[in-house]
Structure 1
Amino acid sequence: MKRSLKFIQPLILILLIGGLYGFAEHRHKNRKLTDIKVSFTETENLYVTEEVVNKLLIQSNDSVSSIDKETLDLNRVEAMLNDHDMIENAEVFLTLDGKLKATVSQRKPIGRVAGNSSFYLDRNGEIMPLSEYYSARVPLMFGFDGSTVAEVYGIVSYVQNDDFLRKHITGITRLNAEAYALELRENDFQVYFGDTTKIDLKFNNFKAFYKKATKDKKLNTYKKVNLQFGDQVVCTKK
């Protein structure tokens, strides 16, 4: 009898633990969501607001408290957020205390096409619509449309990632399929960039020229600065 009890007691304990685990798991799955928390990976300007993300998270127009963890499809919620024009990437997850959390990365514009149609070029080289909540301070792009804007992604991206160029360059104009010009914030001379080859060399030459001309107080004596030759900067005086 004692020997039988030695075998029965562990079995009962295992069954009891299993039952408690199953009960806790069932309660966890069926627990109602109590809150939604949205966070943005970058604290910069919001092209999509927390309120907009919250509305996307609440499925089927139900209130948050009525959504069941068992029926919530996180993949579908993530896909819904990632389909938004202003969202680059979203990750959605549940916490143990019943909160639905979303971490959102916004798309980041690096240039704005101005003309008959207006839109952004984002940091991934894709077309991004304007936001109703915030207007980005990025270089204006003239003479472009949806079919040509990708031509200068390399130039615009380089400007965005360089502190000096981002401070001084305010615009880029498409002269033709192989020639582009840059506009400066504080100077009235035109910077003829040429085509999209040797971007690094051209900009390094320009920065060296600009600093030297500033030191010599000669910036206002030029009407055109030509970078197309790559290995040199050719200036035309007024």
Structure 2
Amino acid sequence: MRFNWNYLKLFLLIVCITGLYSFSDYRSNQKKINGISLEFVSENNLFLSKDVVNKLLIQNYGSLKNVPKEDIVLNTIEKVIETNDMVKNAQVYLTINGELKSKIAQRQPIGRIGGLTQFYLDEDGKKMPLSRNYSARVPIITGKITGKSLEDVYVILQFVNDDDFLRKNIIGIHIDDEEKYQLRFRVENFVVNLGDVNDLEEKFSNFKAFYAKAMKDQTLDNYKIVSLEFDNQVVCTKI
């Protein structure tokens, strides 16, 4: 029987490739971390500094520099960074040259709860602690703070943030005892009774139409209350 040398050559080639890959993988794992790079990916990175993140890593791992790559568990490092209350999420990876990189997204507040216990409401509707580094310019929420009213406030804040006019002008939301909502504006002296959170698009559309006409007529200073509680109406109380 004639021996097929091609099979032997193929077998030896596979053995060589596997050996080279194993050796390369071993050498790669033996390499050590030669540096750490932190990057904040959010537009507004005001609540957390790189020094704070580095301190957090040092507290948990000591110095990561010169640690063998095989000893690094990336998922664990991500979870450690995400323990900081200002971090939304973190992605950690290793580069070919042995640099440990982390991309960090900070949480973004959209409202601030006033009263004895103060905190932010973030873009996901979750409670977020105040920062020692920076005070965000977001609407202040006052009045009857409950789980239900915070859910409603979050709905209002989402709508406000998506509208350039409302975002620039609304500085406060007050919750009365019946869990109805009152808006305060940056410049105007009147307050806006919003009522509940139903039909927000229609209510704000009506309000902006009223505002544009009253500004044109120079009558904005004549009102102390503007109510949007009634169907498809803007009811005003004069001073």
- Using the size of structure 1 for normalisation, the TM-score is 0.90
The size of the alignment, in residue pairs, is 236
Moved more, 220-229 or 71-80: 71-80
Q: Are 2:169 and 1:168 equivalent residues in the alignment? A: yes
Moved more, 15-24 or 168-177: 15-24
8 Å CA contact 2:32, 2:66 repeated in 1? yes
8 Å CA contact 2:29, 2:69 repeated in 1? yes
8 Å CA contact 2:145, 2:175 repeated in 1? no
Compared CA separation, residues 145 and 179, structure 1 to 2 (3 A): closer
8 Å CA contact 2:141, 2:172 repeated in 1? yes
What secondary structure is seen at the aligned counterpart in 2 of 1:181?
Answer: strand
CA offset digits 1:27-66 (Å, max 9, x no partner):
1112111111111222313211122222334474421223
8 Å CA contact 1:117, 1:145 repeated in 2? no
CA-CA distance at 1:19 after TM superposition: 2.6
For 1:134, the equivalent position in structure 2 comes to 134
Gapped regions of structure 2 (runs ≥ 5): none
- Using the size of structure 2 for normalisation, the TM-score is 0.90
CA-CA distance at 1:13 after TM superposition: 4.8
Q: How does 1:2-151 map to 2 (within 5 A)?
A: 12-58=12-58, 60-145=60-145, 147=147, 148-151=149-152
Q: Are 2:161 and 1:154 equivalent residues in the alignment? A: no
What secondary structure is seen at the aligned counterpart in 2 of 1:28?
Answer: helix
CA-CA distance at 1:168 after TM superposition: 0.8
CA offset digits 1:81-132 (Å, max 9, x no partner):
2222111111111111111111111111000011111110111111100111
**RMSD after superposition:** 2.1
Mapped to 2, the partners of 1:199 and 1:88 lie a distance apart of 28
Mapped to 1, the partners of 2:21 and 2:61 lie a distance apart of 33
8 Å CA contact 1:192, 1:224 repeated in 2? yes
